Amino acid sequence: KAGVTQTPRYLIKTRGQQVTLSCSPISGHRSVSWYQQTPGQGLQFLFEYFSETQRNKGNFPGRFSGRQFSNSRSEMNVSTLELGDSALYLCASSADGRASTDTQYFGPGTRLTVL
């Protein structure tokens, strides 16, 4: 089975711009979660989608948003980029999001640099 894929792998933007990142989960997985990783804050949970609905949300401002499509692919959007948004953005997928039967598998990430 193919793993989680994320596009693009690297991205450079300037302050004030917006960006959209894409994630394709493992085939058959319906839950997609997004995380931000920075050297200062480590890995932080952004949000999780299941069956096109946001099911969990972390403590990030409204500039960070996401959506999930009927084929479980997900996108996340960051508007009005700030320098502090420079980070590795990771996507993870799981079958149904219940820890008792499920495991999250991570993609390689998208490295976003904001200048």
Partner 1 sequence: DAKTTQPPSMDCAEGRAANLPCNHSTISGNEYVYWYRQIHSQGPQYIIHGLKNNETNEMASLIITEDRKSSTLILPHATLRDTAVYYCIVRVASGDKIIFGKGTRLHILP
Q: Which residues bind partner 1 (CB under 8 A)?
A: 4, 31, 33, 35, 42-45, 48, 50, 55-56, 58, 88, 90, 92, 94, 97-100, 102-109, 111
With contact defined as beta carbons under 8 Å apart, do 25 and 73 qualify? yes
In angstroms, the CA 28 to CA 21 distance is 21
Q: Report yes or no: 74 and 49 within 8 Å, Cβ to Cβ.
A: yes
Q: Judged by CB, which is closer to partner 1: 18, or 43?
A: 43
Q: Which is nearer to partner 1, 60 or 79 (CB)?
A: 60
Least separation in angstroms between CB 106 and partner 1: 3
User: 27 vs 38, which CB is nearer to partner 1?
Assistant: 38
Whether 30 contacts 50, CB under 8 Å: yes
Minimum gap (Å) between residue 35 Cβ and partner 1: 8
Instruction: Say if residues 56 and 88 touch (Cβ distance below 8 Å).
Output: no
